[in-house]
């Protein structure tokens, strides 16, 4: 009888530990800080959807190719990012841009972000204009090692007729 009780007690203790282990999630990926710098390689397409005669009110959409020039993840340096965007500029409302990006790592894995940016003109010359941007983005999916990517961040950028660059920082987990 004593032997039977000790087997039941042992089984009960083991079952308790098993049940407790299912109650706690397995350790997942940690959120890590990251940063990267981007430079526009070229505009792949651009289409004006609405323009008033004075170009003060503009709606356009397009596709641009960026290259990651620096990153806390060395495997991303040189990776390509395609941005699908819509830009609006309306007198009294400023300039805004929003879109989706696809970033392709060198090994073929991708991650996707949704983002929105506001622009502030810093130089109003028609030929040599400058603007600064601030954007917020969120990871919305990925493939391969980025399949379960989560996180968000901000970018600060500068645009001129000759270049479009940005420095981005945030947290991610995958």
In a domain, 77, yes or no: yes
Question: Hey, which residues does 172 pair with through a beta bridge?
Answer: 32, 151
CATH of the domain at 94: 2.40.350.10
Q: How far apart are CA 52 and CA 159, in angstroms?
A: 23
User: What does the pLDDT read at residue 136?
Assistant: 98
Reference 87, options 54, 126, 139, 45; nearest CA is 45
Would you state the structure tokens that stand for residue 146, as one six-digit string? 């980025």
pLDDT at residue 71, as a whole number: 96
Write down the pLDDT at residue 24. Answer: 44
92 part of a folded domain: yes
Number of H helices, E strands in the chain: 1, 8
Flag whether 19 is in a domain.
no
How many CB atoms are closer than 10 A to CB 111?
25
Q: Is residue 93 part of a domain?
A: yes
Count of the separate structural domains present in the chain: 1
Secondary element (H or E) of residue 110:
strand 110-123
Range of the domain at 168: 32-173
pLDDT of residue 29: 61
- pLDDT at 28 (0 to 100): 56
pLDDT tens over the chain, length 174 residues:
455 444 444 444 444 444 444 444 445 568 999 999 999 999 999 999 988 777 778 999 999 999 999 999 999 999 999 999 999 988 877 899 999 999 999 899 999 999 999 999 898 887 888 999 999 999 999 999 999 999 999 999 999 999 999 999 999 999
Q: Which two tokens stand for residue 55?
A: 């170009």
User: Global pTM?
Assistant: 0.78
Query: 143 phi and psi, to 5 degrees?
Result: -130, 165
Question: Is 4 inside any structural domain?
Answer: no
**What pLDDT is stored for residue 93 in this prediction?**
79
Question: Could you give the 3-state DSSP secondary structure of residue 56?
Answer: coil
pLDDT for the residue 128: 87
């Amino acid at each position: 009888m004593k032997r039977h009780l000790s087997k039941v007690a042992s089984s009960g203790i083991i079952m308790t530990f098993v049940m407790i282990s299912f109650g706690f999630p397995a350790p997942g990926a940690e959120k890590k800080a990251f940063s990267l710098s981007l430079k526009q390689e070229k505009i792949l397409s651009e289409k004006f959807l609405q323009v008033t005669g004075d170009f003060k009110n503009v709606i356009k959409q397009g596709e641009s190719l960026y290259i990651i020039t620096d990153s806390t993840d060395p495997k991303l340096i040189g990776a390509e990012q395609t941005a699908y965007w819509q830009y609006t500029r309306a007198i009294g409302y400023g300039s805004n841009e929003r879109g989706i990006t696809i970033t392709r790592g060198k090994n073929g894995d991708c991650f996707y972000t949704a983002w929105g940016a506001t622009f502030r003109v810093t130089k109003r010359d028609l030929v040599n204009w400058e603007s600064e941007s601030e954007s917020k983005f969120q990871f919305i999916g990925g493939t391969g090692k980025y399949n379960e990517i989560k996180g968000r961040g901000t970018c600060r950028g500068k645009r001129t007729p000759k270049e479009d660059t940005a420095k981005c920082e945030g947290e991610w987990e995958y």
